[in-house]
Structure formats: structure tokens, C-alpha cells
Structure 1
Amino acid sequence: MKKLIFCSILPLLVIGCTTIRQGEVGVKRRLGKLDPTVKGSGVHTYNPFTTTIIKVPTRTINLPLALENIPSKEGLNITAEMAVLYRVLPEKAPEVLSTIGDRYENVVIVSVFRSAAADVCARFFAKDMYTGQREEIEKEIAAEMHTVLEKRGIVVESVLMKSIQLPKGLAQSIEQKLEAEQQAQQMEFVLMKERKEADRKVIEAKGIADSQKIISEGLNKQLIEYKTIEAFRQLATSPNAKIIITDGKTPMLINPTNP
């Protein structure tokens, strides 16, 4: 009986168990040979004497990198802190392990990044890395890396420039130039605003002049006499006491209550 129980428990003692979490896949290596079928998230058993399960992250990985002496277009050396966002295609995990190995970051990604960064930065001036051209540089580096690594099963999502260190004196001159450009843009805005205000005043003055011209052209002797009669009529119906002196054409009102 004891021998039977021991024989029943023995297989359980030689069974290995591992858990694959979300954001990673497992690849079995049995007797040195990789299984092309990947294991998804969950609990998986294996024979620890003949098999191992290699876990490969498939989520987006942020790989920080520091570069020194990057050549610029004018031959200056730039120091930069950058980061590469990449991920491994789940179905390509066995191929990545078989062709590159589990140290694919150092073997392939870092090497390809340094080459792409040097190639792209050499096409731009140092000031471009410090100003609005930075986004274009990031995109071009990511595109070159993606072209090389996608067929290897690695997708480069983006490249980010965290900081750029320019040669001494160059950064200060660039900042001064940017400040001067901003001041020039601000002055241009002020001048444009003043020009618009001047145009508005010209249009307003022209409108007033045209209005006065229309009124003066519309006045005639009969209309003036009619307006005079209307003025007399309104004064006559007013309840307040008043003295009106007129030559029959233009009324002059004298208010007797005023001192």
C-alpha cells in the first residue's frame, strides 16, 4: 500500500508549475528546442527536468538610454538622454528568442538605436535638437528603428528625447536667439494691432464724413422751414413758461426761470 501511494505521489513531485501574467507570454524550451507555440496568461505545468518556460514581456517597455558625442550637421558633439518605447509581438516571441536570445535589448535594440540616432542627428543642426525640430528628429529615429526591428518581431512605438546637452556657449546663444525671435513676433503683433486700429479709425472717419455729406445734400430751404415750424409747435405745446424770440425763421428759447 505504501509503495502504491509513493508511486502515485512521485509524478506530482516532479511537475513544475509557473504563472504567466498579463502583458507577457511564455515559450517552452524542451531539451534545448523552443516550442513555436506561445503560452498565454495563466498557470502552466511542465517537467522541470527536461523543460523550462521562458517569459517574454509583450507590454510596452520604456528603455532609457544615454548617448554621448552624437554628431550634428555642423560637426558638434551632442549629449542626450533619450528613451525608446518598444514591445515584442506575442506571436514572434519564439523567433526573437531563437534568433536573438533573451538579451535582445542589449543585443539588438540598443545597437540599432545608437546607429539610427547617429544617422538622423547628423542630418540636423545642433539648434534643431534644442528647438521645434526635436519632434521630427524623434520620429525619424523611431522610423529607422522600426524598419530594422519590425521584421525581427519587435515594434518600436516611439523615441523620446528627455534632455539635450549642447556645447558650452551654444545653448545660451540659442536661448538668446529664441528670445529675440519672440520679441520680434510680439512687436509684429503690436504693429499689426496698431495698423488694424488705424484702419478702423479711417473707416469710421469716412463713414462720418459720408453721413454728413448725405445729410448736407438732403437739406434744402423747404425742409429747414418745415423743421422750424415743427420746433415752434413743440415749444407751444410745452407746459413750462418760456420766452421765444424769433425772426420767423429760427427760434431762440429763453428760460425765464434761469438766473
Structure 2
Amino acid sequence: MILLWNDTFISEDELRISKDDRGYHFGDGVYEVIKVYGASMFTAEEHIDRLYESADKIKLIIPYTKDVLQKMLYDLVETNNVIDGHIYLQITRGVVPRQHYFPSEGIEPMLLAYTKEAERPLNQFEAGVKAKFVEDVRWLRCDIKSLNLLGNVLAKQEAHEEGCYEAILHRGEKVTEGSSSNIFGIKGGVLYTHPADNFILNGITRRVILQCCKEIGIPVIEEAFTREQTLAMDELFLSSTTSEITPIIEVEGNRIGSGARGQWTEKLQESFEKKLPQAIGI
């Protein structure tokens, strides 16, 4: 595998991460995951824009223009001959002896990106998954796609230990998002999802889904719904870059709707797939 290390392509064996990298000590950095379909990056500009937005929110200056970074990522995909998979990209504040406050000027941020081949989990998109509720005890800047994911990891582990695919996070009674996804409910032909504020990450797939809703005529209400309302939804699904649109058919033993993928979820999946690069043969 060839990696992108700052602005240089290296082999995995050549990678050396310093003990003083602030990403290692503090999770002081931001990241993105970009899906690759048919050797093309999907919504690359949107992901890169969000990366720069997250970096700006933590006062981290990325030392490349957006166009240069996008070109380096395309070259990385081509170099590794990735057809279907994804890119993981992270940027930390850089290498400096451990101290909590930001380093002085002159410290270069550290960029790392790599690719991974991955097939689309088509059976999951049709069969659906199970989920459980987990209290959302994370910090209050979930809109920043930072390297600080311990709260998400603990929630995902709790769900995993109970045989669930995802943890549905909630603050009090109000559902926010999943541990690694956005959450949507459909009731009476209306789609509900938490507004894109500081309590959730405004997912790129989430944004595509809202476009799909306009195109196929599903009204959207962006407001938080409760755990009780979650269980009463006709349809429930999650979205992310790697999970696309995945139906949730059961939450803590409670069947959602008919217990199978709903008609609106299926229509949204069909609309979403029409936006993917045609090279994947859909």
C-alpha cells in the first residue's frame, strides 16, 4: 500500500509517526473519510470543504489549497488502483514537545492519507440492522470532525456488545445522531432528522439525502425527535459515507414499522444510487 504523507507518497514500511505528534497526545486534529466508487471519489469537494471548516474551527491551518489536496488524493487513488473503497485522511497540528496550549508559529501540520478497498454491503442495505439507545455524553462541538472519538467508540462498543450495528445517541429524551452516523425517521411520509447544529456532525451523505428528498417529494422537518417517537416511526434509517442509507429495523427489541425496509427508505436508496458514478454499473 502507498500512503500520502504530507505531500509525498511513501510505502507503509516507511511511515514514522513521532511520539510528539499532537494527534497522538491530544487527538489534536481533524479527519475525513471519502468514498470511492468506480475509481472516482464521491462528493470529494464537499468532504474537503468540511475538512477545512473543521480545521478552521480548531484554528488549524492546512498548508495546501483545496485544489492541490484534492489532486493529491486522486493521485493516491490511482496509485493504489482503488476501484471501490474509501480514503481515510487526517491532519494533526504537528510535532512539538508535549504541552496543552498550541505550539508557536512555524510548526507544520502533519497529513496522512491512505486507501482501503471495500465492497458495498448491499445485503445490509436491504435487510437492515439493529440498534440500541445510548446516552450522548460527548462534548458540545460534535459539528467538528475531530480525532477525539472516544465517546463515539464507547457508544459503538456498547451497541456491539449487545449485537447491534449502531448506537442511537440521545441527550435526555432527544435523539441526536448515531455513534458513527446520522439518524433519520419517517412518519406519515415525512422525514425527520436532527438539525445541523453543534450537537451533530452534518454528514455529507446526510446532505445528499436531503437533496434526494426534494427530488422525490418527501417533506423534511429538521428537528430533534424523542426516543419514544423513534420507536413509533414508520421507518428508521442511518446514513454515513461507508454505510450509505441503511435501514434500522429494530431498536432494543422493538420492531420499527413492519420490521423490514420501508418503501420511502427504498426510494431514497434508489435516488441516492442514481447520484453515484456510473462506472460501478448501477
What TM-score results when the alignment is normalised by the length of structure 1? 0.24
* Larger-gyration structure (1/2): 1
- Structure with more of its chain in helix, by fraction: 1
Normalising by structure 2, what TM-score? 0.22
Identify the structure with bigger relative contact order (alpha carbons < 8 Å, sequence gap 6+). 2
